[in-house]
Each structure stands twice: as structure tokens, then as C-alpha cells.
Structure 1
Amino acid sequence: MKFDKYIKIGVLGIALWSLTGCTDWLDVQPVDQVAEEQMFTSEEGFRQGLNGVYVELCSSNLYGGDLQVGTVEVLAQRYKFANYGTMQNLNSLGQFDYTTDYSKSNFAGIWEKGYALIANVNTLLKNADEKKNLFTGDQYNWITGEAYALRAMLHFDLFRLFGPVYKTNKEGRAIPYNKEFVLSGTDLLPASEVLEYVIDDLKEAERRLANDPIIEQGPLLEEGATEGENFWHYRTFRLNYYAVKALQARVYLYAEMFSEALAAAREVVAVQEQYFPFTTKSQVTDGQKPDRIFSSELVFALQYPNRDKIFTDYFTPDLKDDQMWLTPSTYLEKIFGTLALNDWRYESNWKVASGHTNRCFYKYSDLETDAYYADLLPMIRMSEMYYIIAETAENETDALESINLVLDNRGVELLTSASQLESTLLNEYQKEFWGEGQLFFYYKRMNRSSILSAFSGGNVEMNDTKYVLPLPQSETDFR
């Protein structure tokens, strides 16, 4: 694994964040060269180092692009691209052609950026263990707890892309799991072993975040605290205790550890009404500042000041049809059905625009408001926990109760029979996580033999070759 251009924290441009308030604490002042020995000389330095990782998660190679609205959504068949000009490369990727220079460069960017951030997390953890005397109160446990969770999350998403289809190949070679800073490659581990390491890191994160302020005080989405205190406010903008439990539920489900997934999801939904209330229809459809991401339900989100660039680059009606990341109306109709307008997600996020025959995707459009949710990227939703419960519940009553709670808060007709549960869960993953990168991973986890495609308007056949991204050439050449 080559990290030549990612030499420790300095080359990544670790960001120093202002911690004075909600609208200021993500003001990014890039630092081109921050030596490790200079960064980690104080508790504040460790906070800055941790913040820098969160900022870099929003890069175009990761959740500010490829792992949110980009590559993984293209593979999930969300879009239809023109087969010429600037869209030809995307068209080929959407047809699962992984041999083009564009695809290879795209996959390499995800891989290298992901492992570069993992290297930075490992550097932070190493220094934290060596300098525990610098920390006060619970700061050591909280900072390192989030770091363990970040390491687990990054490895898990790289695994979900580049690893084998777990349902049919649990011992297939997957990816390296790096627990320390390295400049050279490490072994490709069996899929089951990678998931064991992910689970271990999340358990360690849970242990260290046992006194996370969110447990007693909730998300703390308000300003007014001192600078030091504000670092531990806005807890849903970071991998807080409940986000760690939610990640556990997601990973356990993928690992087919269903009872563990159920238990973790139940712990998260136990505080849903108190800390993560369902967003109301009036909030979602507010004409001035619509909360299109259902922000009160987010267990974890990234704050991305340039989020509106996603809309202007890909989805704005100012683009021509052959320039837009287009979702055909026929595809939308198959997912949302004849009662589409009743679904709050459709009403708020899909708008007819002048000059276009298809609706445009508005989830990430600029709200021109100072509402805290105006620049958030959803990472983990409370609804996913209810879906996990519905999938793993021990009886039909619990399963129906769980899925219906979400449906009721989306304006969708409730289920009356468990016989519809599997198809409804599929449909909910298609609707709920639009532009959030989770649908392709759902298809792969379930090893679905065919999936609905915006390219053809019908179904496309799937197999391991399509579900498993090839390792970057830099990785295969090394081996």
C-alpha cells in the first residue's frame, strides 16, 4: 500500500477548527505542514488532529463525493448518463466497466484517501497513548474513543466496496486492517477477520465513550458554552456513543450476527423519542428552510460547508440533461409508486424544473439559511436502526411495529402483513438513503441477483464481478 504522497498528518492538510460556536466551529484554516511533534504537544493539539480527520472525511474521494452521492450511487444504478462527452466515463462506470482509466483512478482515490486517514488516526492514537499525561478529565477516553470509531468506520466502508460478497464468501481475501501507521503494504485479510477487527475497534470505542456527554445531555445542539466545552457539543456531528452503537448494529447485520445487531439497534432507538425525534412534515416541506435531510433523526452527520456544491455540480436544473446526474422519471415512479406525492421524501427532494423532462434532486441544494442542518451530510439515520430491528426481530409483531414507525413518519401506508416486510425493506432502502451511499451496500449484503436500474428502466443482473471493486493497481503491483 503506497502512502508516499500522504506523509503523516502534515501532507493531508490537517484542518484547525474554530470551536466558538455552531456556525464557526467548522471554519477551516488548512495547515500545509504540521509536524507530528508539534501537533501532539497539548490536549488542544489532539482535538485539532481529530477535527482534521473529520474535515477530510468530506473530501470528494470519500463522503463529500464518491461514498455519498458519487461512485456508490452510480453503482446502485441511481443515475442515467449520456454515453458521450464528459458523461461517457460515468456511463461506463454505471455499466460496471471497471477497466477504464476513469474507474481505476476513481477506485484508487477512494482507497488511498481512506487508508491515508486511517494512518492519521493511528498516528493520533499512538501519540495519545504515549502522552496520556497531557489529558484532563475524560478527554483521553473521548478523543481516542472517537478515533477508534473512525478507524472502524473507514475500514468497514473500504471493506464493503473492495471486499467479497460476505454472504457467499466469508473467508475470501478482502483488505488490510491497519492498526498502526505504515508506509508499506500489509496483508490482505479474510473477510471474516476484517469484520472481527471492525467489531473489536467499535467495542473499544464504546468502552471509551461510556461517559460521552450525549448519554446524559443529548446531542447538545446549541451554542453558548465555553470554547473547551463546545468541543463536546454538537455531538451528532461526531462519532458519539449512540453513533458507535448504531455502527455496531450496521456491522453486526453485515456480519450476519443478527441477535447482536438487534440488541445494538434497540439501545439506539431507546433514546429516539428523547434525543432524536422524528422530523415533522411541516419541517420537511417548510418553504423557507426545508429540512430535506430530516436532521433531528440523524445519529451522526458530517458538517460540510461546501455541501451545496454537490447540488450545483451534479443536480441543479441550470445544467442540461446531458450534463446532469439524471434520474429518469420512470425509475422514480417504480420506486415511489403511484402515491409518490404522499411520501414526504419525494415531495421535498424531487422538483420539476423548467426546461427538463425529469425531476431534479434537491436534497443538497443551498437553503440560504443559518439553520444548523443547512450543510450537514447524513451518515447514520435513526430509521436505519428501525429497519435493522424489523429485519432481525424475533417476532412479526415487533418487526411490523418497527417498520411502521418509520412509514408513519414518512407519509407512507402502514404494513398489515409480515409477508410484505422484505419487499418493503428493499423499497425503504431505495427511498430513505438517496444520495447517502447506502443502497449499493444493501444490495451487496443481500447478494441480490438483480437490481432496478435507471440505465435501462428495468433490472440489471448482478454477480461478484460487479459487486466487488478491483483493488487499485498500486496495491496489486506491490503484491
Structure 2
Amino acid sequence: MKLISNITFLLLVLLASCSKKIEIKPEYQLDGSSPLATIKEADNVLTGAYDGFQTGDYYRSSGPSGAYSVVPDIMGDDLIETKESLGNYQTQAEWRYESIEDDVQATWLGAWNIISGVNIILRDIDNIASQDPKAANRIKGQALAIRAHVHFDLLRYFGESLDGNSTNRGIPYVTKFDVTAKPGRSTVKESYEKILADLAEAATILSGELDKPINTDDNKTRIDWLVVKAIQARVNLYAGQWQAAADAATAVINQVELSSIDDFPSIWNDQSLEEVLWSVSFENLQDGVVYDNVFFARGNRSTYRPAQGLTALYDQANDVRYSTYMANVGTLNDIVRTPRLVVIKHLGKGTATDGVVNWKAYRVAEMYLIRAEANFRLNKETEALNDLNELREHRIDGFTGGAETGNALLTAIMTERRKELAFEGHRFFDFKRWNKTPINRCASNTDTPSTICSLDPDSRAWAWPIPFNETIVNPNIQQNDDY
């Protein structure tokens, strides 16, 4: 497949052991040339696809990219580079990326490798479904959902627009495993339609009979029906399909409660799964690699600090998010530094400070914010305010319900979204979907080595460039403008 730039597709299937540690030895290697023969093989390939989310090309921030974890916040206005930085992620922070950048190519290839894996499953699963129809449903539904989720993430970075009706260039939508394919780009509108079609099919399948539960109360590491509804809510919000976004969010809200103020901090050190829908599993593999996060990395180097424009929004005495997401820290891991405000949201499991912690890809709190924004757009201000107040009451001790209306209500929803989802990989994409609202972090730029701190609506940098290697081997794919 030319979408992986002529690199031979190799899926390393990682099998989870009975313990909580992940085995790093693959059972077998798969190049996709032979059809899957058993349900067990299909299940193993599905495990390999999930493993792709743990790489530095996706949610792991200590790898070459961390594209869907740390980077969107670094590209927004919630984080400011510090003098402790060694220049990591500076290209993204200053919006200077080019088509030859390693991080751009890693983000592109990492996504397509996951898609290739699930397309092998979807190619063969119906032919082997008679072996165990309920297991086949469980595997097929997840594969469809993964394919949709990853294509959507590609659209967020590489699409020229996020308007659901846009005829600008979107992404290729690949539904077949074919190493010789040279697909062109769908429009943004067509990309959304294909993403939502896969999600609709996944939701139908996963609401049917399965051989076993996908997730449990103490394990949320895979995509079940509730996660599919959450993905639908997010995708429809971006596309501006307000009623569909509200309906999907409601399906989740009706089944999952917000955490209490007392329990909220435990979500972030993996001591609680309250309100978590999908938590991408990260464990210390004991292979010499630490899966740390760049905000407050191993060795006590805080490379990006919380921006003053963000911290000023919190009721710092009563909002549990402030003390959960950031803290004044000096000495840590035997390294002595002057105390300074750092991000601690992803510091580690339990009392650990090694950065090894699961990535919370979807939470019910986001669903409240999605439904509030969607209902506001639908002129349902009462419903929007109710959701906003419900979330604030679960985060701010002693909060008295607000009574905002009109533009003040919309501003309050956007502000609460920023406060709630800080450092979770949303901020840059919010600016992009809000019709490329200008980014200006200059007011909070007092201690950064960089002088580049604003992004205008007409900048090419709202869309990442298609990797150079891809455009060379695939003549059907068009580069984004001005690259």
C-alpha cells in the first residue's frame, strides 16, 4: 500500500498475559498476504491494532510524535515552552512543520499501520464468522470503530477544513488492505460520511450478541458500544451535525455518571475508572523504555508549563481540576530544582512519577460538553446550561449554578471545555473547528525561548502537510496548499 510509503507492512501481534504487564514477545508476524484462518488469529490481529495506539506515533508522548496526546496542546495556547526545554516539539509549537519532518511522517504512518491491521480483519472476518458468530461480531465491531476513529484523527490533522459540509481536501478513506493501492483524497464532507458510516455499522454490531463483554468495570482498554457512541458524538460535533452529536452524547450520559469531586483525582493515576470510557493501556514493559509524558518528563525536566491564560480561568482554591492537573513542584526523582508550576495530570500510576499512565481517550465529561455546545447551537439554551452546571457542580466545591444566556453561555461552555480537557489533546483542534480562530499565546509567553506565538486564520499550518515520501510514491494524492 502506497499509503505506508512502500514500507513492507508488518504487524507485530502483542498478546496480553494473565498479569497486568504486557508481554513484548509477538506470537507471530503477519504481512497480510494470507487470509486469516481462525477467529483466534483475527482476535490476535485486533490486539496488534490496539497496540498501535501505544506507540510514539499515536498516544505515547515519549516517542517521535505523540501526535494525539501532547502535541495538540503544545500547538494551542494551553502550554508554553520553558527554558528547561531541549527543543523537543518546538517545530510543532512554532507551527514550522514541513512535509519532510520525521514527526509528520511518523504520525501519518502510525495511523495507516493501524488501519491496515483492521482492514485485514474486515477482509476476512465474514469468511470465518461461522466458527464463532458472537466472537466475530465482537471483533468486527471493534475493527470498524478503530478504522473510523483513526481516519477521523487523520482528518483532524491533514484535512484542510473540519467543516462537515466542506468540499476542501480531506483524507483518503481506505477500506481494503492492498499494498499496491494509490488512493486519492476524499473531500472533507465525504471523509465524514465514511467515518460515520463505519461508526453506525460498528454501533449496530456491538449492540448485538457478543461472546463476552469487551470492557468491564475495572478494565476500559478497548472500544465497546459506549465508546462508539462517544466517538460518534465527537465526530458529529466537529462536523457541525448538532442533533446527531447531542443524541450520541446522551446515549453515553444515560449510562455513565460523572465522578465526584473527591474521586476525580484518582482517575489520573489509574486508581479509578469513574467516568472513563476508553483508557488506552500503558504499562512499564520493563524493556528499558519509559513511557513518560513531555509535560513533566523523566528526570524532572518540565519542558512545557501551563499557560497563564489557562491557569487564570480556574477557581484555584475550589476547583479540583487545578490541583489535579498541575502543581508547584521542585525536587522529584532525586533531581533538585526550584519549585515551579508543572503539569502533573499524567505523572504516573498510584504514587509513581515515571510517566507510565493510561491515556484517557474518551470520558463522559466530554459528552456533557459536547451536548451543551450542540444544544446551544440548536437554540436549546436551557438544556445547554443544565449540562454546563452539572459538570461545574462535579468539579468546583460549593459551586452555585450559573445563569448565563446568549453569547455569555457559549463563552462559558468553551471556557469549561478548555478547563476540563486541558492537556488531553484537544485544544488545537478546537481552534481549527471553530473556523480557524486565531491562536495567540503571546500574553503567556514570558519564559519561553521562542518568539513565535500566534497563528493567523489564513496560515497553511492549520493542516499538516502530506509527508513528502507519500506524495512521491502516490501520484493520486494531492499536497495541502503552500507546502
TM-score range, shorter chain: 0.7 to 0.9
| Pair 1:350–1:212, CA change in 2 (3 A) | farther
User: 1:385: Cα distance to partner?
Assistant: 1.1
Question: Which residue among 444, 455, 465 is the counterpart of 1:470?
Answer: 465
Equivalent of 2:369, from 360, 372, 387? 387
What secondary structure, in the 3-state scheme, does the structure 1 residue paired with 2:147 have? helix
1:294/1:469 Cα in 2 relative to 1: closer, same or farther (>3 Å)? farther
Alignment of 1:232-381 (within 5 A): 234=219, 236-272=220-256, 277-285=257-265, 291=269, 295-306=273-284, 309-311=290-292, 314-316=295-297, 318-320=299-301, 324-328=302-306, 330-336=308-314, 339-354=315-330, 355-356=337-338, 358-368=340-350, 375-381=357-363
Quickly say closer, same or farther: Cα 1:218–1:397, change in 2 above 3 A: farther
AA paired with 1:315?
A: F
Identity of matched residues, %: 23
Contact 1:284 1:292 in 2 (8 A): no
Say if 1:329 and 1:359, in contact at 8 Å, map to a contact too. Answer: no
- The residue number in structure 2 matching 1:404 is 389
Alignment match, 2:334: none
AA matched with 2:237 = L
CA separation of 1:70 and 1:206: change in aligned 2, threshold 3 A = same
Is the 1:39–1:49 Cα contact (8 Å) retained in structure 2?
Answer: no
Q: 1:397, 1:409 → 2: CA distance?
A: 19
Deviation at 1:268, TM superposition (A): 1.3
Q: Quote how far apart the aligned CAs of 1:316 are.
A: 4.1
Aligned to 2:112: 115
Secondary structure of the equivalent of 1:138?
A: helix
Identify the residue that residue 145 of structure 1 maps to in structure 2. 141
Q: 1:292-318: per-residue Cα shift (whole Å, max 9, x none)?
A: 797311111211114994546540484
Encode CA deviations 1:53-111: one digit per residue, 9 max, x unaligned.
11111111112232333322221233333589831x6333211112385xx21111100
- Kept in 1, the 8 Å contact 2:269–2:351? The answer is no
Are the aligned partners of 2:278 and 2:362 in contact in 1 as well (CA < 8 Å)?
yes
Q: State the aligned residue count.
A: 444
Q: Give 1:46's match in structure 2, choosing from 27, 36, 42.
A: 42
For the 8 Å contact 1:58–1:302, the answer to whether it is kept is: yes
- When residues 116 and 168 of structure 1 are mapped into structure 2, their CA distance, relative to the original with a 3 A threshold, is closer
TM-score, scaled to structure 1? 0.83
Deviation of the 1:213 alpha carbon: 6.6
SS class of match (1:360): strand
What residue number does 1:229 align with? none
d(CA) in 1 for partners of 2:114 and 2:99? 26
CA shift in 2, pair 1:369/1:258, >3 Å = same
Q: Residue 216 of structure 2: which of 212, 220, 225 is its match?
A: 220
Give, in angstroms, the shift of residue 165 of structure 1: 2.0
Aligned equivalents of 1:153, 1:377: Cα separation in 2: 15
Query: Offset at 1:368?
Result: 4.3
Contact 1:390 1:400 in 2 (8 A): yes
The alignment's TM-score, normalised by the length of structure 2, stands at 0.83
Q: Distance in 2 between matches of 1:218 and 1:56?
A: 18
Query: Residue 368 and residue 211 in structure 1: after superposition, are their counterparts in 2 closer, same or farther (change >3 A)?
Result: same
Give the structure 2 partner of residue 227 of structure 1: none
Specify the code of the residue in structure 2 equivalent to 1:444: K
Structure 2, gaps ≥5 residues long: 331-336, 447-452, 476-483
- 1:99 is matched with 98
Secondary structure (helix, strand or coil) at the match of 2:280 reads: strand
Structure 1 stretch displaced more, 204-213 or 254-263: 204-213
Superposed CA offset, 1:241-293 (max 9, x none): 01111111111111211111111111111112xxxx3222333456xx97579
Deviations 1:361-419 (A, max 9, x none): 1122223479xxx8321111101111111112242211111111111111164321123
SS in 2 for 1:363: coil
Aligned residues of 2:277 and 2:362 also touching (Cα < 8 A): yes
In structure 1, which of residues 431, 439, 451 is the aligned counterpart of residue 419 of structure 2? 431
C-alpha spacing 1:418/1:441, structure 2 compared with 1 (3 Å): same
CA offsets, 1:324-357, max 9 Å, x none?
3221562443343xx2232111112212112245
Residue 195 (structure 1) aligns with? 192
Question: Aligned pair in 2 of structure 1 residues 341, 383: CA closer, same or farther (>3 Å)?
Answer: same
Query: Which stretch shows the higher mean deviation, 447-456 or 241-250?
Result: 447-456
Say if 1:217 and 1:62 are closer, same or farther in 2 by CA, change over 3 A.
closer
Q: CA RMSD in A?
A: 3.2
